[in-house]
Amino acid sequence: MAKHILSVLVENHAGVLSRVAGLFSRRGFNIDSLAVGITENPEVSRMTIVVDGDEYTVEQVSKQLNKLINVIRVKKLEAQDSVRRELALIKVNASASTRSEIIQIVEIFRAKIVDVSKNTLTIEVSGDEEKVGALEDMLKQFGIKEIVRTGLIALERGNRHIKANNNDEE
Amino acid sequence: MKVTGAQAIIKALEIENVTHIFGYPGAAICPFYNALLDSNIKHILTRHEQGAAHAANGYARVTGKTGVCVATSGPGATNLITGIATAYMDSIPIVAITGQVPTNLIGRDVFQEADITGATAPFCKHNYLVKNVEDLPRILKEAFHIASSGRPGPVLIDVPIDVQNSELHFKYPEEIDIRGYKPTYKGHPLQIKRIAEAIEKAKFPVICAGGGIISGKARDELMELVIKCNIPVVTTLMGIGSIPTDHEMCLGMLGSHGSYFANYAIHNADLIIIMGARVGDRAMASANKIAEKASIIHIDIDPAEIGKNIDVEIPVVGDVKSILQDLLQVVKKGDTDEWLEKIRKVRQEHTAKRKGTDEDIDQDGAVKPKFLLKMLSKMMEDDDAVITTEVGQNQIWAANNLTIRKPGKFITSGGMGTMGYGLPAAVGAKVGCPNTRVITISGDGSFQMSLQELGTIKQHKLGIKIVILNNSRLGMVRELQKMKYCSRYSHVSLEDNPDFVKLAYAYGINGERITKNFEVEDALKRMLSDDKAYLLDCVVDPEEPTL
Ligand SMILES: Cc1ncc(C[n+]2csc(CCOP(=O)(O)OP(=O)(O)O)c2C)c(N)n1
């Protein structure tokens, strides 16, 4: 099944997240990931939701989201027209003999080492899902101890943007 | 001048022209009840909070206003839930106000605390937990606006007791601006033109009218279109009354419990115009098979309903009244003569086949529900009566056999199918239209889910007529078990039912029991002879089929 990205502007009120998440479970939609944060307007938050499903499902999800009173706008983002990023922290086993190899891989991926211990390295990486996945794959051989990922966030490329206050898009 | 939160709620209700509310008090809503004493708003004390919610629903459906119900925190609030969900499924505007434990105790499982906003989120159009007393006027204004506009529905406001007791400077907002809520009313002109073209081209068109015609007050426009373009109409359960059921263009209710002709028409149409209906599975089980044969036009105020269950060729979002008005400006009549002739023939043949089942019934046998309901309709030819129903065979018998000529006269729980709805809905209907006759058609099972409301009927002197079609069974489930489970009857017998007439007497309400068909006419006459409450217990054969 295809993955679709929805960019959702919501009122920054208590309970909105649970309404949105509840809608998904109630209606049997699958959320792949959901990332929330405040926008340039402190009264408005943006949720980036990755949905698993066909066109019909995405349309239903969008319509149902639009029905929520606290949802201001819902927009489906096309992969090719948007910048997509995810942040991940990966804690991997590292011994004296493997350490330099890991550091090399990290450099190739333009990732960062953010914590070091005797037996581990913690790596910060950002990028689209493929990049994060590829790094994870490369690090598997050393033994991954823990991973945390933020879920995808995305914005449209160029001049286009979604506004909270009116329906205009440039 | 400063007022308390509780007084602010009452003031807001007054500004919203609320004259009657339905409720049940408790400690957490006492400030509100205290302030209510200083208002002219009439309060109907029901015997159960679910009854209050259903009564608000019935009230809304007969008056076209928003119904209001009130309950205390915890068990009072949770008792409202079935009523709220029932209103949600049928798109009925109600505002539910609940008390809540003090703000500083929320989330600690204190006495009578329940997360009612969390619990009702799935079946409220919207809900609020009021944390700041200053927000009350805005929230009440928004709640009434949200409940009654767009696709109507229930809105809940949960008010902690300390918020009810705090003070504020009351100023009711004149306008509201809810960024995320801007229903579309005007239909897209291009789409409306496409409808007109489709109607002109169609040879076998049929209109499917839903509850949206009734809540959208679009009856006149619908009739104008039907007559101008000669298009027959089928209705959903919620759409009954959108066209007089005895009108020659009305083919009855469609769906698994609908009429033969209605389903015939839907299955043989080349164009189906769905208006204010959500294409529920009971109405159109094989929706997409139907869509393969016919073009579908779907008009609805809720964009999420369009394309949800059926593939639609021409979707139009907006208020059905306004869309029909625009459509009537541009639409021209197509040629439907062949179609109407075909339907007329099918109807004739079918009626001939059924002759003898309806007319020559055994007068010494048990009461025949269909006969009784037809008789009742005949006796009330010029009456403006409101009928409410329970759920089960009684509901379907009523839907298919009563003559309903006007919108808002047939009140039933369509979407949820909530047993125990009919009696309290009748309470609300009678409060809303005290000079109109209100009759509730009930089953013995459903009646026992809210019979305590007999107390409400007595206390408030509501002249409601109660007809129980008593088969001492959960009739509709029994019928299902008969057909689908090889007559293995599992827990559908209510054989030790109480004597309902005596029960009515215990509440100071008159009534009688009839067991034979020949008693029907006189009994109905006695029941209709005055405007006092009356209970007619009719013994029905458990084998009596629904259709
Ligand atoms: C609250 C609730 N519980 C259970 C059901 C399932 N149900 C549907 S019809 C029915 C039987 C109704 O029996 P009765 O009220 O006696 O009416 P009848 O079918 O006999 O006319 C039941 C149990 C329901 N619709 N609502």
Local confidence pLDDT in tens for the 547 residues of chain B:
799 999 999 999 999 999 999 999 999 999 999 999 999 999 999 999 999 999 999 999 999 999 999 999 999 999 999 999 999 999 999 999 999 999 999 999 999 999 999 999 999 999 999 999 999 999 999 999 999 999 999 999 999 999 999 999 999 999 999 999 999 999 999 999 999 999 999 999 999 999 999 999 999 999 999 999 999 999 999 999 999 999 999 999 999 899 888 999 999 999 999 999 988 888 877 777 787 889 999 999 999 999 898 889 999 999 999 999 999 999 999 999 999 999 999 988 888 777 655 556 788 899 999 999 999 999 998 788 999 999 999 999 999 999 999 999 999 999 999 999 999 999 999 999 999 999 999 999 999 999 999 999 999 999 999 999 999 999 999 999 999 999 999 999 998 999 999 999 999 999 999 999 999 999 999 999 999 999 999 999 999 999 9
Query: Where do runs of H (alpha helix) occur along chain A?
Result: 16-26, 55-67, 99-108, 129-140
Which residues of chain A are within 8 Å of residue B179 when distances are taken between CB atoms? 11, 72, 164-165
DSSP string, B118-179: HHHGGG-SEEEE---GGGHHHHHHHHHHHHHSSS--EEEEEEEHHHHHSEEE----S----T
Which residues of chain A are within 8 Å of residue B181 when distances are taken between CB atoms? 69
- Ligand 1 atom nearest the C-alpha of B475 is 20
B188 near A CB under 8 A? no
The interface residues of chain B toward chain A in range 226-285, judged by CB-CB distance below 8 A, are none
Q: pTM for this one?
A: 0.95
Length of chain B: 547
pLDDT, tens digit, 9 for 90 and up, residues B335-393: 999 999 999 999 888 887 776 555 567 888 999 999 999 999 999 987 889 999 999 99
Which residues of chain A are within 8 Å of residue B303 when distances are taken between CB atoms? 63, 66
Q: What type of residue sits at position B101?
A: V
State which of B50, B389, B419, B546 you would mutate to test the pocket of ligand 1, scoring each by most atoms of that ligand within 8 A of its C-beta: B419
- Ligand 1 atom nearest the C-alpha of B446 is 15
Are A69 and B308 a contacting pair at CB < 8 A?
no
The interface residues of chain B toward chain A in range 302-341, judged by CB-CB distance below 8 A, are 302-304, 307-308
Could you report the average pLDDT of every consecutive run of 10 residues in chain A (170 residues)?
Answer: 91 90 90 93 95 92 95 93 95 95 95 95 94 95 95 90 60
Which residues form ligand 1's pocket by a CB distance below 6 Å? B 390-394, 417-419, 443-446, 469, 471, 473-477
Are B179 and A18 a contacting pair at CB < 8 A?
no
Which residues of chain A are within 8 Å of residue B178 when distances are taken between CB atoms? 69
- Residue with the smallest CA separation from ligand 1 atom 13 is B474
Using DSSP, state whether B18 is helix, strand or coil: coil
Distances (CA, A) of B26 to A101, B75, B100, B359: 70, 10, 10, 54
Are A15 and B304 a contacting pair at CB < 8 A?
no
* Among A105, A102, A133, CA closest to A3: A133
The answer to whether the beta carbons of residues B500 and B513 sit under 8 Å apart is: yes
What is the number of other CB atoms lying within 10 angstroms of the CB of residue B382? 4
- What is the rounded CA–CA span in Å between residue A130 and residue A101? 21
Cα B269 to ligand 1 centre (Å): 33
- Residue with the smallest CA separation from ligand 1 atom 1 is B419
Best A23, A29, A69 member to test B by mutation, with max B CBs in 10 Å, is A69
For residue B186, the distance in angstroms to the closest alpha carbon of chain A comes to 17
User: Average model confidence (pLDDT) for chain B?
Assistant: 95
A30-38 and A3-11 beta bridge pairing: unpaired
Cα A78 to ligand 1 centre (Å): 49
The interface residues of chain A toward chain B in range 93-122, judged by CB-CB distance below 8 A, are none
Cα A42 to ligand 1 centre (Å): 50
Considering only CB atoms, B180 lies closest to which of A11, A14, A18, namely: A11
The interface residues of chain B toward chain A in range 140-179, judged by CB-CB distance below 8 A, are 146, 178-179
A59 near B CB under 8 A? yes
For residue A60, the distance in angstroms to the closest alpha carbon of chain B comes to 7
Best A25, A27, A67, A162 member to test B by mutation, with max B CBs in 10 Å, is A67
- Ligand 1 atom nearest the C-alpha of B444 is 16
Cα B423 to ligand 1 centre (Å): 14
The sign one gets for the Cα dihedral B20, B23, B29, B35 is: positive
pLDDT, tens digit, 9 for 90 and up, residues B217-230: 999 999 999 999 99
Are B180 and A70 a contacting pair at CB < 8 A?
yes
Considering only CB atoms, A69 lies closest to which of B181, B304, B307, namely: B181
pLDDT, tens digit, 9 for 90 and up, residues B248-261: 999 999 998 998 88
Match 């073209």 to its residue by tokens: B197
Which residues of chain A are within 8 Å of residue B125 when distances are taken between CB atoms? 69
Are B302 and A70 a contacting pair at CB < 8 A?
no
The answer to whether the beta carbons of residues B471 and B542 sit under 8 Å apart is: yes
- Residue with the smallest CA separation from ligand 1 atom 20 is B475
Cα B465 to ligand 1 centre (Å): 20
A60 near B CB under 8 A? yes
Length of chain A: 170
Q: Residues of A90-126 as b/e, b for ≥16 C-beta within 10 angstroms?
A: bbbebeeeeeeebeebbeebebebeeeeeebbbbebb
What is the number of other CB atoms lying within 10 angstroms of the CB of residue B535? 27
* Among A49, A7, A35, CA closest to A164: A7
The interface residues of chain A toward chain B in range 125-164, judged by CB-CB distance below 8 A, are 164
Rounded to 5°, angle at Cα B242 from B431 and B182: 80
Cα B205 to ligand 1 centre (Å): 35
- What is the rounded CA–CA span in Å between residue A68 and residue B232? 36
For residue A131, the distance in angstroms to the closest alpha carbon of chain B comes to 36
Considering only CB atoms, B122 lies closest to which of A26, A59, A165, namely: A26
Hey, which bits of B342-445 come out as E strands? 386-389, 410-411, 438-443
For residue B179, the distance in angstroms to the closest alpha carbon of chain A comes to 6
Best B179, B181, B298 member to test A by mutation, with max A CBs in 10 Å, is B179
pLDDT, tens digit, 9 for 90 and up, residues B499-542: 999 999 999 999 999 999 999 999 999 999 999 999 999 999 99
CA B531, distance to chain mean position in Å, is 24
| Closest-CA residue of chain A to B155 | A69
